[in-house]
Structures are given as C-alpha cells and as structure tokens.
Amino acid sequence: MAAFWHDPNVRMVFWALVKILVILQAMLGVVSYMIYAERKIAGHMQARVGPNRVGPLGLFQPIADVAKLFFKEEFIPDGANKVIFHIAPMLAVIPALIVFSVVPFGPQDALRVTDLNVGLLLFLAMSSIGVYAIVLGGWSSNNKYALLGGLRSSAQMISYELPMGLSCIPVILLAGSLSLVEIVRMQEHWWFVATPFGLLAFAIFMITALAETNRAPFDLPEAEAELVAGFHTEYSSMKFGLFFLGEFANVISISCIAVTLFLGGWNGPWLPDAFKFVWFFLKLAALLFFFIWVRWTYPRLRYDQLMNLGWKVLLPLALANVLVTAIVVWWRAQG
Amino acid sequence: MMPFTMPSLIAVDWWALGAVIALSVGAMLLLVLEFVPAPPASNRGAFVTLLALLAAAGSVLEVRDARRSLFDGMFLHDGFTVFFTVLFCVIGAVAVLQSWDYVKRTRINHGEYYALLLSSTLGMVLMAASNDLITIFLGLELMSLALYVLVGFRRTRLDSSEAAMKYFLLGAFASGFLLYGIALLYGATGTTNLAKVAMFLADSPMIGNPMLIVGGLLLLVGFGFKVAAVPFHMWTPDAYEGAPTTVTGYMSAGAKAAGFAALLRVLLVAFPPLMSEWRPILSWIAALTMTVGNVTALLQTNVKRMLAYSSIAHAGYLLVAVVAGGLDGGSAALFYLAVYSFMNLGAFGVLALLGRGAEERVTIKDLAGLGFRSPMLGLAMTVFMLSLGGVPPTSGFMGKVYLFSVAVKAGLIPLVIVGVLNSVVSVFYYLRVTVAMYMQEPGAEPVEIAWAPSAAIAVVITLALTLWWGVQAQDLLTTAQRSILGLL
Amino acid sequence: MTEYVPVLLFLLVAIGFAGGTIGLSSLIVPRRRNAVKNSSYECGVEPVGDALQRFTVKFYLVAVLFILFDIEAVFLYPWAVTFRRLGLYGLIEMALFIVILFVGYVYLLRKRALEWD
C-alpha cells in the first residue's frame, strides 16, 4: 500500500483530483454568489433593494434557488429528441469547467491544475464547443422559439469567435508562447493591457466575451420579448439549472483567461509570492463586476446591429491589430 | 524540436513562381474589379484573364530550362511543370476566347466567371508543379472548387444546378478519399514528399503493408475520379451536359490534364518501387474505361453527352500510356494530353456557337445540315471528330499511333488490342456527327449560329493545332520527351 | 504527455458532475404528465405544425464564412508563436496571406453577404 502511495503517477493523479474538486466547489460557490451579487447590484442600480428575505441581507438566496430548481417538475415536449435534449445542458457546463484546468491562479505549481504548452488553444477549443450546447438544445426541443434562438445564438457565437480568436494573437506575438503560465511570466514587468495594441485587443476580447457568454447587451438568443426564452424555452428543473450554471461558469472562465492574457495574471506589487494569487482574484472580481455592470447599463442590440458589429467592425479591427502588433514586435527585435 | 532553417525571400526564384503569382493576382484583381463600374459592352474580365494567362505562360517560359525546388521541395519547377503550365495557360486562353461572346449571349457574364476560371487554372498549375502530396491536394481542391461553381454557373437552368450538385457531392467524396489516402501514406512512410516516399519505399520495400496498399488505392480512387476513369466516371455525363458549353470544354481539357499530371508525378516519382502492384490495377481500369466510355457513347443523341463519354474513353487511352510508364509512356501521355486537349476544346468550341441567346441546341439533329449552312464550322467540326476518332492526317491519329506503339514496346499487347478495337468503335459515333452535318436536311427550325470574332479565333487556333500536330508531330514529341525526363 | 492527464481527469469529473446533477434531480422531481403539458410551448395556443422547418439560408452563409476566417485564425496561431524566429520573412508572408483574405472580405462586403435585411 505504501509503495502504491509513493508511485509518482498515483500522487500526481491524487493531487490533480484534489485540485479539480476544490476548483469545482469554489466555482459553484462563486457562481452562486455572483448570481446573488448580480441581483443585489441590479437592485441598487434600479433603486430597489434586491433579494433580502432568505437569511441576513438575503445571503442564503442562492441556496434557496438551487433547492427550488432541484425540486421543480421536469417535462420534455412531445417530439423532442430525447438523447440530445439531455446531452445539450451537459455540454453547456463541461467545456466551461475544463477551461479551469489550464488557468494559473498563482506562481506556484500548487495553484494550477496543469500547464499545457497549448493552454490558450484549449481555451479556444472549449469555448467553441459551447456553441453545440445551444444549437443542439434549441434544435432538440421541437419548439419554434427554441430553434430560432439556437440558430441566432450559434450564428452570433461563431461570428464573435473570430474576433475573439484574433484578439488573442497580439498576446501570443508578445509572449511567443501559447502556455498561459508563460504568458503571465512575460507580463512580470509590464502588463499586456498597458500597450496600445494590447489595450485594443483587450477591448475586443471583452466585447466578444460578452457575446460568447450570451450576456447583455448580446443576449439575443434569449431575447424574451420576441423569443420567449430562446434556446432553453422548453428546459426546466436542473437541466435549465445547468444552462444557467454554464452561462455563469463561462463568464468566470472567460474572465480568468482575460486576467491571464491581458491583466498580468497573478502579477502585482507589494504582496510576497505566496500571496500573489490574491491579485489574481482581485482582478477577477473586477472583471466579474464589469460583466454585471454592463448588463444593467446597456440595452440589447438589434440582430443586424449585432452581426454588423462583429463582422464589419471587430473582425477587421482585430485583423489590423494583429498586423500592427507583428510589425511593432519585428521592429523592436531589430533593436 | 525540429531543425529549423530560416527561409529567405532572396532564395526564391521569382520567374519560376511567376505563373502562380500572375494567376492568383489576376484572380483577385478580377474579384475587386467586379465593383468598379464598366460600360456593359466592355469585356474587361476576359481581357484581364488573357493578360494573366499570358504573363503566367511567359514567366515560366522565361526560365524553361531551369530546375528549381521551392518551399522545402513542395513546389518543383522543371520541364514537366513548364510543359503543363504552358498547356493549362493555352487551354485557359482558348476557353476565354470561346467564352468572350458566349457568356454575354447566355447572360452569365459575371466577373466571378473569369475569376473562377483563373483560380482553377492556378489549381491545375499547382497540381502539376507539386512534389508533395499535400500541395497536390491543395491544387486539386482549388481547381475543383472553382469548377463546381463554374459548372453551376447557369443558375437559372435546372440541369446546370443539378450538374453542379452532383459534381460537387461526388467530387467532395473523391477529395475525401484522396486525403484519406494521403493520410495513410503519410502514416506508412512518414512523409508526404514524393521523392522521400520513393526513397523510403526503395530502402524498405514494404509491399505487404496494408496501410500502404489501402493508402495507394484511395489515392488512385481520388485521381480516378478527377480524370473520369471507370468506375469513378458517373459524374461526367451529367456535369458535362449541364455545365455552360465553354466550361465543359475547359474542364474536359484542363481538369483531365491536371489529373493526369498529378497522377503521372505521383506514380513516376513516388511509386516506381511498387510498379508491379499498380500496373495490373491500372491496366484493368484502362481497359474498362475505354470500353465503357466508347460503348456508352454509341447510344447518345446529345453531342455534349456523347463527348463526355468520349472523354471517358480518352482517359482510358491515356491510362494505357501511364501503365506503360517510363520515359516512353510518360512522353506518350504528355503528347496525347496536349493533342486531346485541343481537339476536344475545339469540338466544344463549335458547340458553344450554336443557338440563339441562352438556348442550347446540341443534339445530333440540331447539327443536321450544318456543313452546308456554315462550311467553315462544318469543316472544323469534321476535323475535330476525325481527330478524336484517330483518323489521319490529324493530331489524334499521331497521338494514338505513338501511344499504342509505346504500349506495344512495353509488352501491353492485350491492352493495345482493346484500345485499337475501341478506336474502331469510336469512329462510328464520331462519324455520326459528320454524317448529320453533311447528309441530313436541317429540321424545321434550323439552329442559329452565333458567330463572333473571338470564337472564330478560338476555332482557328484549335483547328490549326489539331492539323499541325497531325502532320508535324516531331516538335511536340521532343518537348514531351524532354519534359518527362526531369521526373525520372 | 503527462501534463494532459489532469485535463482528462477534469473532463471525467465535469461529465460526472453534469450527469450526476441531472440524474439526481430527475430521480426526485415530480412528474405528472398530461397532453397539454407535454406539447411544445407556443405562447399558449395550440402548436402549429412541426418546429423543424426551413430557415433562412443566411445562417448557412455565416457558417461557411466562419469556417473560412477561422481557418485563417488557426494559421495565425503557430505563426504567432514562431514569429520572432521567422523575422521579416514571416511578417511578409503573413501580410500577403492577410491581404489575400482581405480581398475576399472586401468582395463579401460588396456582395452584401453580411447584410441582414
């Protein structure tokens, strides 16, 4: 038994599992309280008080919400494709979770699950799998609103995936690596957001992040005024809960990546190495607040405006940004 | 990490790459020009296309004796490349002359027509110049994708859309097979470079390796589709019939030549060590292709369709040359390809002249009496038909004589017997067209002939080449032999 | 390849979590089916026809264009990683590549392929 424990492979798997479970729990906690925070902030922005009945200041509201979802009656419309109908909500959550496996929360090995030399690619791959959840969910429901919502949403997400992918390239050019740890190390002295093209890339990334996560002002897939609830019209109970969870998990994972790529990750003044991870979480909290802030500030775009913004503004802008960055990097390398 | 050599811009031979540059710049220019208004009568697109084709041909001819290996041996500039680049450019130029008036008459005069023509020519050039399976695939896709669209260019006609759809679906399958074959070959040999594949096979003859055999067979399927060999010929009649006639002529000549160029390079450069494996397979395919093509052509009443089956039959003859292999077989294939391209282009060029506006009258009945109503056109069509049938004194005759004598020398007596018998059969249906033109009365509504100066030039060029190579074949033959030498 | 093992583990845990949540909830939730409840939602009126009908071809167009430009982005990644070693050659090559795609992009714009009206 002792020999078994000393096998490095076993130890690695064990510690990886521990980290994964901690991240999973932390993520669930953050999601719960982000929803609470969103409702509170929204309330105050609209001169209301927000949830305040369950527990002190309404702090137990998320627990009550989850319990409610768990016991809700579940129904599946006639004519729905049962298998896909069940798989779709799972697909909404799984990719968003896997992204956390490459996020470096701090400089120590213990504060990340793994360090891939293609970490950024993993993030992009996972974010494109997210489209399947929505289009399959919308299609398998056998509901016109769901189908339209799913289609719109997939068109929106793939349209914004292009500028998102392109806005990562200036960072790769500056860092010369796809490993997220390496990218953070390169920002030890100067965050990428503090360069002109880095700032532009960050702006493009954040706009596309809003669209990728289907958050307002890009929440057209669930434009309730015209599409009831979009792709998840027919979903109820915990399957709806997973879509909901997936959306917020996506917000958090994309914010983590934004912090890593542009805001210097764990880098920050004053704190010793052991506590650098605090910086990471402070930046993350700021970005999460940004997501909530935008949602309750801007009205929803019209569909043609949305597509125009993606294809005619962000795409050429991101492409030009890539070229300019390349020229500057080459120029600097000349000395 | 792989060893990494710094590429340099200075090391690129710009003349050798000139054809690719001219064709791609031309195609892009045409796309952008689409949005610059022009008087409706102008034929700017055709003009730009001609210039690009001329520049491409001129550029490779400038360095025709040089031998260059570019982009890590992916792109090879040698005699073979020069031969095919010039061939494709001339085919393209003749097609442009034929289309000059035709696209306006049939109201398909969009800028994209010429842009697609140039892109597919570029694909063909890449296929002939590639020394790497990946770039061959790239060229093939570039050529095919442009052709799929060109075939369906008469959007308002149902048969054109149907043809494009069939061609696209089957073509996509064939591309998939080809790519899968490439992947398996890469798995078996560890490289996609043709010369390195040959080296690998020579060092460790792994004849029995299933991965290698399946990969090679899938490769044959892919190329077989592109050159329309039986049993991968199903798309040909429909695609040829539905496509605009000028496009049919262009693809029957260009796409076939490009398919054979790539097939020749793959077989003669990469697979000589496995010759005993692929020769019997190709022999059977050749015999089947000749026979099926000719026998089915006998039954056709639509001349376009008949020529489609005839082009299948000609793929069979060409495969005989490929089976013969070596210097003789290769040069016979090149010779026959050049000859075949122009007689076929000529025949389709004549067909493109028939009809008023967008109507298409290409049945044998429509041709009745054409020989008296337009002696020039009748004569030209007769020469093309005789040449396709292999009757002296035309280039088709010389091509067949050379091809079959090479095959006899290579000991392929059964194949030659099949080929000669087939040639005799084929004369029957080619002569049916001539008989209709000279010995039948035109119907109640005689076909209108849409003469145009550019089309006349195209007819004259193809006619002249067909007759010239019939009496004076030596130059072309020497060129073909010199071109194939670099491969061996 | 060992650095990929944790990703695989994460995948398994995530599948287990998502599947477990759905499985657990479907064990305990009430189910009282009837025909009206099971019909698909259409603002309270009787559903008309099947939901899986034809939709506008624009969506296909967006999908095709996406593939086109996504491939471009895919080419840009390895280029960006090795950019410093490729130097001027890499810069010019990629600028050419982007210009070629830009010609296609201008063509799309002028053909109004990106208009939603």
pLDDT digits (tens, 9 = 90+) for B230-275: 888 889 999 999 999 999 999 999 999 999 999 999 998 888 888 8
For the stretch B90-119, pLDDT in tens is 999 999 999 998 888 888 878 889 999 999
Domain residue ranges in chain C: 2-110
- Asked if residue A229 has pLDDT above 90, the reply is no
pLDDT of residue C42: 67
Q: pLDDT for B474-484, tens place per residue? A: 989 999 999 88
Cβ neighbour number for residue B11 with a 10 Å cutoff: 10
Q: Does any domain span residue B119? A: yes
Gap from B4 CA to chain C (nearest CA, Å) = 9
| Partner C contacted by A150 (CB < 8 A) | no
Classify residue B356 by burial, with Cβ atoms within 10 Å: 0-12, 13-18, 19+: exposed
The answer to whether the CB atoms of A228 and C55 lie below 8 A apart is: no
Residue B221's nearest CA partner among B206, B233, B209, B208 is B233
CB B406 within 8 A of CB B324: yes
**Touch test A–C: 3 Cβ pairs or more under 8 Å:** yes
Could you say which of B7, B24, B31 has the minimum Cβ distance to residue C107?
Answer: B31
Select the residue of B7, B24, B28 nearest C89 (Cβ to Cβ): B7
CA distance A117 to A107: 16
The answer on pLDDT for A137 being more than 90 is: no
B24 touches chain C (CB under 8 A): yes
Q: What pLDDT does residue B344 have?
A: 94
Task: Give me B373's structure tokens.
Answer: 């109503």
Question: Whose CA is closest to B261, among B487, B474, B416, B21?
Answer: B487
Q: Is the pLDDT of residue B2 over 50?
A: no
Is B292 among the domain residues?
yes
Averaged pLDDT, B138-143: 94
Please answer whether residues B418 and B290 qualify as being in contact, where contact means their C-beta atoms are separated by less than 8 angstroms.
Answer: yes
Q: Which tokens go with A195?
A: 């360069």
From C44's Cα to the closest Cα of chain A, the distance in A is: 12
Q: Which pLDDT does position B316 carry in this prediction?
A: 94
Task: Give every CB contact of residue B448 below 8 A, 6+ residues apart in sequence.
Answer: B354, B355, B356
**How far is B112 from B459, CA to CA, in rounded Å?**
25
Dist CA A276 CA B258 (whole Å): 62
Task: Tell me the C-alpha distance between A65 and A33, whole Å.
Answer: 11
Residue (of B312, B311, B309) closest to B296 by Cα position: B309
- The lowest-confidence range among A54-68, A253-267, B384-398 is A54-68
Given this model, what pLDDT does residue B201 score?
Answer: 86
Rounded mean pLDDT of B265-286? 88
Buried b (16+ CB within 10 A) or exposed e, B282-319: bbebbbbbbbbbbebbeebebbbbbbbbbbbbbbbbbb
The proportion of chain A whose per-residue pLDDT surpasses 90, expressed as a percent, equals: 23
ipTM score here? 0.87
Tokens in use for A139?
């299609």
d(CA B54, CA A203): 48
What DSSP assignment string belongs to B408-440? HHTT-HHHHHHHHHHHHHHHHHHHHHHHHHHHS
Q: Is the Cβ pair C100, B35 closer than 8 Å?
A: no
pLDDT at B359: 80
What are the tokens at B95? Answer: 């097609």
Q: Quote the number of domains for chain B.
A: 1
B13 three-state secondary structure: coil
Those of residues 30-49 in B touching chain C at CB distance below 8 A are 31-32, 34-35
Say if residues B344 and B388 touch (Cβ distance below 8 Å): yes
Place of tokens 């002792």: A2
Tens digit of pLDDT for each residue in A8-18? 888 888 888 88
Q: Which of C85, C89, C110 sits opposite B35 (nearest CB)?
A: C110
Q: How far apart are CA B226 and CA B249, in angstroms?
A: 15
Give pLDDT tens digits for B4-49: 555 555 556 788 888 999 999 999 999 888 888 877 777 888 999 9
C38 with A173: Cβ contact below 8 A:
no
Write out the two tokens for A205: 């990334």
- Please, what is the angle between helix A8-45 and helix C5-28, to 10°? 60
| Average pLDDT estimate for B142-146 | 94
Tokens 């059969």 belong to B425
pLDDT single digits (tens) B295-312:
999 999 999 999 999 999
Residues of C with CB below 8 A from B7's CB?
Answer: 86, 89
Q: Please, are residues B392 and B466 in contact by the beta-carbon 8 Å criterion? A: no
C3 CA to chain A: closest CA distance, Å? 6
Confidence bin at B130 (pLDDT 50/70/90): very high
Of C18, C38, C63, the CB nearest to A94: C18
So what's the pLDDT on residue B50?
Answer: 94
- The residues, any chain, with a CB within 8 Å of residue A185's CB and separated by 6 or more, are none
Dump pLDDT digits (tens) for B340-353. Answer: 999 999 999 999 99
- What average pLDDT does chain A have? 86
Let me know: does A67 contact A237? Beta carbons within 8 Å. Answer: no
Name residue, tokens 């706009």.
A207
Task: With CB atoms and an 8 Å threshold, state whether A234 touches C41.
Answer: yes
Q: What tens digit of pLDDT does each residue of A69-98 get?
A: 888 887 787 777 888 888 888 998 999 999
What is the domain extent for residue B132?
Answer: 13-487
| 3-class DSSP string for B212-223 | HHHHHHHHHHHH
Task: Assess whether chains B and A touch, using the rule of 3 or more C-beta pairs within 8 angstroms.
Answer: no
Picking from C86, C87, C103, the nearest residue to B31 by CB comes out as C103
A151 touches chain C (CB under 8 A): yes
Reference B94, options B281, B312, B270, B252; nearest CA is: B252
pLDDT > 70: percent of chain B: 97
Tokens of A181: 């740890």
Determine the average pLDDT of the residues in B53-66: 90
As a whole number of angstroms, the distance between CA A206 and CA A204 comes to 6
Distance CA A155, CA B341 (A): 45
The answer, yes or no, to whether residue A222 has pLDDT greater than 70, is: no
E strand or H helix that includes residue B75: strand B75-77
Contact A227, A132 (CB under 8 A): no
For A57-82, give one letter per residue: b (16+ CB within 10 A) or e. ebeebbeebbeebeebebbbbebbbe
Give the residue among B344, B349, B254 at the shortest CA–CA distance from B306.
B344
* Residues in chain C closer than 8 A to A86 (CB atoms): 22
Cα of A225 to nearest chain C Cα, Å = 12
Lowest mean pLDDT among A12-26, B125-139, B201-215: B201-215
pLDDT per position as a tens digit, B358-399: 788 888 888 888 888 888 899 999 999 999 998 888 999 999
CA distance A47 to chain C (A): 32
For residue C92, list chain B residues with Cβ-Cβ distance below 8 A.
9
The closest alpha carbon to B178, from B224, B212, B142, B129, belongs to B224
Provide the shortest C-alpha distance from residue A142 to chain C (in Å). Answer: 5
Chain B interface mutation, best of C67, C96, C107, C108, highest count of B Cβ atoms under 10 Å: C107
In chain C, which residue ranges form alpha helices assigned H by DSSP? 5-28, 35-38, 58-81, 83-110
Size of interface B-C (CB pairs under 8 A): 23
Asked if B349 and B307 count as a contact pair (C-beta separation under 8 A), the reply is no
Which chain A residues have a beta carbon less than 8 Å from that of C24? 70, 238
B2 close to C (CB below 8 A): no
Are the beta carbons of C104 and B31 separated by less than 8 Å? yes
* Contacts of residue B359, Cβ cutoff 8 Å, sequence gap at least 6: none
Distance from first CA to last CA of chain C, Å, rounded?
A: 50
Q: Mark yes or no for CB contact B8/C89 under 8 Å.
A: yes
pLDDT band at B1 (very low <50, low <70, confident <90, very high): very low
**Segment C20-60, tens digit of pLDDT:** 988 888 888 877 777 777 777 766 666 666 767 778 888 88
Q: Measured between beta carbons, which residues in chain C are less than 8 angstroms from residue A142?
A: 40, 50-52
Interface of A with C in 279-318 (CB under 8 A): 303-304, 307-308, 311-312, 315-316
Tokens of A85: 């109908």
- The most distant pair of C-alpha atoms in chain B lies apart, rounded to whole Å, by 76
Which residue among B6, B9, B31 places its CB closest to the CB of C92? B9
Query: What CATH number does the domain located at C2-110 have?
Result: 1.20.58
The answer to whether B356 and B364 have CB atoms below 8 angstroms apart is no
